[in-house]
Amino acid sequence: MPKSRKPERRVTFQYFVPVHVEIIDGRINRVTVIDETPIKEPTFVEGDAGYLEEAIAEADDGQEWPIWTFGH
């Protein structure tokens, strides 16, 4: 008989981080996201709102972030 898996807990939140934007001759040359910034004033977006505080603590514990997605 297969093992039953724990239900997946998922939450999405957002917060502002500083970026450095370099412009050369009127064109965006480089954008650097300062991702070491501690999470401050996060906003719940979707998912399990009860998991939000724990998820924020886990995201801010020094682990590497797996992927960056830019735009909407």
- The Cα–Cα gap between 14 and 55 comes to 12
Closest CA to 18 of 43, 36, 42: 36
Domain boundaries, the chain: 11-59
- The Cα–Cα gap between 30 and 69 comes to 16
Residues 9-42: pLDDT tens digits? 999 999 998 888 999 999 999 888 887 788 899 9
How does the average pLDDT of the chain come out, rounded?
A: 86
Is the model's pLDDT at 55 over the cut of 90? yes
53 φ/ψ angles, rounded to the nearest 5 degrees: -60, -45
